[in-house]
Chain A
């Protein structure tokens, strides 16, 4: 499956660099920064790929908050995906350091660091390895503020992890575990689709006063290149973005899957089907209003994600929209997702929700 390089497709946002929103930022720790005053410096943008955008965001995060730390396996030399290049040299080994191979330890350690008022930016080398950390994240990170009655919180926690298929990753370098975390009240899950989104969303996630799990689509680390503002900017969490306007059907996705959905939109347009494409960006808490408005307009919904279909996050969206837009829906909500098998080693293209599968589903839904 050819991956198109994501350009600035359908970015309907105005040129303003800081897309402020009152949600989530009003109670940002004041010490963190005069973020409200921070605007895009100088207006310059540069074409960079995803890992460079993430790297820029980390540089800025460490620069602006002296109590932020980046750690994980192999981050010292730059990380296996080069996202942490230059950080150790610039900020020193006390703030950017390698951990031993113990995900559970890394997560718990990060929670402790965050609980004492620091910004802990932990990297889990592949999302497939996040499961030993799952206990700490679900049982500790998500519940810290709640069960201590706000005596303590680990809002400074951000977990960054590459997720998703990469073409040859096999069982343990390709998984999409976002659904597991979406089921946990107290955590936020954010997934960017492109370099510009990644930098803004990552900075917002780091500065958000809640624990955030930031999944980066590893397939796009090198492939996706976009003009990214060079300065400090943030994108709002819990706001979905309509990246392509249409009238016949609403498509929802996140991360790398959006590129596939976009190709499907182009092909569907040739058949006269006008698709509206929404990037959810934050999976939990997700922007129900935007999706509801879109489905009320089109009357049809298709959700696509790489994770297996049963119990995937698409199920939550489908159920919520069915509840909210029942009378407006003209066809059942379609989900085009991975199969209900472990991520396979061979025949990965047949497992994945490819453009053709999506096209078929679009046509089936529109012609229902």
Chain B
């Protein structure tokens, strides 16, 4: 495609000062008219703060604008979205149960409440597209197609898990599904995703090995706290500089363990950081899967056409604490109930029923099927064997016997003294 001329009109630069300009800005004309949906735009109500926090709740009389007509979605799509979100929710609830029963250990971070973001974005991806996540990654893996039994087995630390038990809750990887992890360290995944996007662009433009759909897309998911981290900004710059097919999705759930986003960030409106680097920045209601899907479609299409990265800020909320060890004492009850009332699954269910896309009974049968899937995943994980002890030494290097040959002519890692820590390495 022709090099896009760098004019301000091409980009959704926020109208400064921030208070001006309500939601009526139109997207640049480069978006194909064939998109029947509304063009990519900021869904901004008139007040300045978009992420609703307990401080804002107190002073804010108007609820965030959600009155816009829902975009149309087909029955099949709706049921697919519903099933994926229910899978995410039930899986995480089961994780909590298993954790408290001692089947799972370590640090486990659950995704309850944020399903709309994962489903809205990842269900639009194809197999070669990559997903990079954080430690809150179970549902991203599930949405991308990693079987529930693999994820559950990984959580139990079993050899049949997607990472053979070596990764655990925070490191879900899957090569067949192009899930690039799972990063315990915030912000570490974003440069990795940027590199993957570069690889996709190279494959397409230089090696001409791409799919007919266009460039393969990479999505990097991360949280509001990460948006203050240096790696994030470095990657915004690189991605826009090289016009990489990547979407930066900020799952802004307002809290980084115990730090409120509003108290940790000079300008809490994260989407604005996109235009500062020259890419579009969008804010979307992350509790509404259909809205997320709309924004995702546009962003993914942009990336596939080679127009470069997009920064999406999804306003969402986690219903549980930061991790299963977090007592969650800092968040106010009215904030929690505000978002609980906007439960994405309930909203979608209501929409489906009201639009007559499916009946209550059909939805119930989906829920029942998902219950069975999750139960089966637990049984599978329970029945799976633990990895052999030798796995402790595997995959440090490329050569599985990577510690070389010892003085006795045998592989060092097979020397029983090796695991006793007294052998020479």
Interface residues in chain A, defined as those with a beta carbon under 8 Å from any beta carbon in chain B: 73-74, 76-77, 80, 98-102, 104-105, 128-129, 132, 168-173, 309-310, 334, 336-342, 344-347, 350-351, 353, 357, 360-361, 364
Known interface pairs A334-B422, A340-B425; 16 further A-B residue pairs with C-beta atoms within 8 A, sorted by A's residue number: A73-B257, A77-B330, A98-B259, A100-B229, A101-B264, A104-B230, A168-B105, A169-B106, A172-B170, A172-B185, A341-B392, A346-B168, A346-B386, A346-B391, A347-B387, A360-B420
Q: How distant is A267 from chain B, measured CB to nearest CB, in Å?
A: 16
Contacts of B263 on A, CB cut-off 8 Å? 98
Q: How distant is A92 from chain B, measured CB to nearest CB, in Å?
A: 15
CB pairs A–B below 8 angstroms (7 shown): A101-B259, A132-B230, A132-B231, A168-B106, A170-B106, A170-B170, A309-B421
Q: How far is the CA of A172 from the CA of B420 in the complex (A)?
A: 23
Q: How far is the CA of A270 from the CA of B184 in the complex (A)?
A: 44
Pick from A100, A104, A132: contact of B265, CB below 8 A. Answer: A100
Q: How far is the CA of A339 from the CA of B107 in the complex (A)?
A: 22
Q: How far is the CA of A98 from the CA of B263 in the complex (A)?
A: 9
Contacts of B166 on A, CB cut-off 8 Å? 344-346
Contact A336 B421, CB 8 Å, known A170-B184, A344-B392, A346-B166: yes
- Among residues of B, the one whose C-beta sits closest to the C-beta of A80 is B257
Number of A-B contacts (CB under 8 A): 111
Is there contact, CB below 8 Å, between B421 and A347?
Answer: no
Contact A339 B264, CB 8 Å, known A98-B259, A101-B256: no
Contact A345 B157, CB 8 Å, known A101-B229, A128-B185, A170-B184: yes
Q: Give the bracket for the number of chain B residues in contact with chain A.
A: 35 or more
Is residue B165 within 8 Å, beta carbon to beta carbon, of the partner chain?
yes
Is there contact, CB below 8 Å, between A98 and B403?
Answer: no
Contact A101 B225, CB 8 Å, known A74-B259, A168-B105, A170-B107: yes
Contacts of B286 on A, CB cut-off 8 Å? none
Q: How distant is A93 from chain B, measured CB to nearest CB, in Å?
A: 10
Contacts of B389 on A, CB cut-off 8 Å? 347, 350
Contacts of B358 on A, CB cut-off 8 Å? none
Contacts of A342 on B, CB cut-off 8 Å? 396
Per-residue 0/1 for B373-384: is the Cβ within 8 Å of any A Cβ (1 yes, 0 no)?
000000000000
Contacts of A351 on B, CB cut-off 8 Å? 392
- Among residues of A, the one whose C-beta sits closest to the C-beta of B135 is A172
Q: How distant is B43 from chain A, measured CB to nearest CB, in Å?
A: 26
Contact A129 B391, CB 8 Å, known A80-B257, A334-B422: no
Per-residue 0/1 for B327-351: is the Cβ within 8 Å of any A Cβ (1 yes, 0 no)?
0001000000000000000000000
Contact A339 B421, CB 8 Å, known A170-B106, A173-B184, A345-B168: yes
Q: How distant is B173 from chain A, measured CB to nearest CB, in Å?
A: 13
Q: How far is the CA of A346 from the CA of B257 in the complex (A)?
A: 25
Contacts of A357 on B, CB cut-off 8 Å? 420-422
Contacts of A173 on B, CB cut-off 8 Å? 107, 184
Pick from A104, A129, A340, A345: contact of B403, CB below 8 A. Answer: A340
Contact A74 B392, CB 8 Å, known A310-B425, A336-B422: no
Is there contact, CB below 8 Å, between A346 and B229?
Answer: no
Q: How far is the CA of A248 from the CA of B420 in the complex (A)?
A: 23
Contacts of B106 on A, CB cut-off 8 Å? 168-170, 345
| Interface residues in B82-125 (C-beta closer than 8 Å to A) | 105-107
Q: How far is the CA of A171 from the CA of B185 in the complex (A)?
A: 10
Q: How far is the CA of A30 from the CA of B216 in the complex (A)?
A: 63
Is there contact, CB below 8 Å, between B186 and A171?
Answer: no
Contacts of B107 on A, CB cut-off 8 Å? 168-170, 173
Contacts of B259 on A, CB cut-off 8 Å? 73-74, 76, 98, 100-101
Is residue B258 within 8 Å, beta carbon to beta carbon, of the partner chain?
yes
Q: How distant is B151 from chain A, measured CB to nearest CB, in Å?
A: 15
Q: How far is the CA of A364 from the CA of B424 in the complex (A)?
A: 14
Pick from A105, A171, A334, A341: contact of B230, CB below 8 A. Answer: A105
Is residue B195 within 8 Å, beta carbon to beta carbon, of the partner chain?
no
Per-residue 0/1 for B263-284: is the Cβ within 8 Å of any A Cβ (1 yes, 0 no)?
1110000000000000000000
Q: How far is the CA of A272 from the CA of B225 in the complex (A)?
A: 56
Contacts of A80 on B, CB cut-off 8 Å? 257-258
Contacts of B231 on A, CB cut-off 8 Å? 132
Is residue B293 within 8 Å, beta carbon to beta carbon, of the partner chain?
no
Is there contact, CB below 8 Å, between B229 and A341?
Answer: no
| Interface residues in B132-183 (C-beta closer than 8 Å to A) | 157, 165-168, 170-171
Q: How far is the CA of A132 from the CA of B421 in the complex (A)?
A: 29
